[in-house]
Amino acid sequence: MKKIITYSAILCISLIACNQKQASDANIAKYEKNLEIAKQFYAAFTSKDSTKQATFLTDDFKWNGPAIGQDSLSKEVLLAGDKEFMKAFNDIKFENTEYVPGLDPKTYALDGGVRVYGTINSKFASSGKTSKVKYYAVLGFNDSGKITTLEEYYNMEDLSKEF
């Protein structure tokens, strides 16, 4: 009887471990797919193509910008802000970029999201002076690979130093 209980416990543990591995593998695959989308989204930004940027966002997309009180803003608000940035700055480059998987805040398991760290380097269109901004963002995705949320963190003061 003890052997049956022992073998049953080993079997249960093995099945649980296999299921967790399969879920982890699925989330890694989801992250890798979403990572490519995130890279394309930022490539559209640095090439000043807000129309292409829009194709990566869901209709009910929510943006949480860096300023206090900028929560749950629409896709249109983000794209309008990006267009203004694209007018004010030239030679936009996203450098020292690192992408890492997003994590579920409750379980700390991979959730398919993408976090990005980097530096946005550009030149003021009016003066040609260089601007550098340290950047961090968390991107959420739906099952279709569209960006549902974007939470951005950077020091807005860095953008206005030259003005």
- The CA distance from 116 to 135, in Å, is 8
- The CA distance from 154 to 135, in Å, is 5
Coil, strand or helix at 6? helix
- The CA distance from 42 to 20, in Å, is 32
Supply the pLDDT for residue 161.
63
Supply the pLDDT for residue 4.
55
- The residues near 109 (Cβ < 8 Å, ≥ 6 apart) are 23, 24, 27, 103
Domains observed in the chain: 2-160 (3.10.450.50)
- The CA distance from 92 to 121, in Å, is 6
Supply the pLDDT for residue 67.
84
**Tens digit of pLDDT per residue, the chain (163 long)?**
555 554 444 434 443 344 444 557 888 999 999 999 999 999 999 999 999 999 999 999 999 998 887 788 999 999 999 999 999 999 999 999 999 999 998 998 999 999 999 999 999 999 999 989 999 999 999 999 999 999 999 987 766 665 5
